[in-house]
């Protein structure tokens, strides 16, 4: 499943997409993110599946543009810590 967390507003699309088929629930993204955007647990959108997966926390979903700004300087964009930490490459940002 491609789980798109985030929002769209007048200034653009701000979504973090987690591919739950690639995500193995290892939890590496949780400490990698300086702002606590991720949590790992039972997939809230697939109640019949018992494997844990990563998700974006409720508190962060509505403010990703601001939360992630610190990792996304205008120039010379380094790899995002969350994306770099995820070995199966399950995390993508839309902006």
Applying CB under 8 A, the residues found at the interface with other proteins are 1-5, 7-9, 13, 15, 44-48, 61-62, 94
Which of these ranges, 2-10, 43-51, 77-85, lies near ligand SF4 under the rule CB under 6 A? 77-85
The Cα–Cα gap between 36 and 82 comes to 10
Which of these ranges, 2-10, 16-24, 41-49, lies near ligand SF4 under the rule CB under 6 A? 16-24
Cβ closest to other proteins, residue 31 vs residue 88: 88
Instruction: Label each residue of 19-80 as H, E or C.
Output: ECCCCCCCCCHHHHCCCCCEEEEECCCCCCCCCEEEEECCCCCCCHHHHHHHHCCCCCCCCC
**Nearest-approach distance from CB 18 to other proteins, in angstroms:** 11
């Amino acid at each position: 499943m491609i789980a798109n967390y985030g929002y769209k507003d007048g200034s653009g699309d701000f979504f973090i997409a987690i591919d739950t088929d690639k995500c193995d629930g290892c939890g590496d993204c949780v400490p990698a993110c300086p702002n606590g955007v991720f949590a790992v647990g039972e997939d809230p959108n697939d109640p019949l599946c018992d494997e844990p997966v990563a998700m974006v926390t409720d508190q962060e979903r509505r403010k990703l543009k601001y939360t992630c700004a610190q990792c996304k300087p205008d120039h010379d964009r380094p790899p995002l810590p969350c994306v770099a930490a995820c070995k199966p490459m399950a995390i993508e940002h839309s902006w």
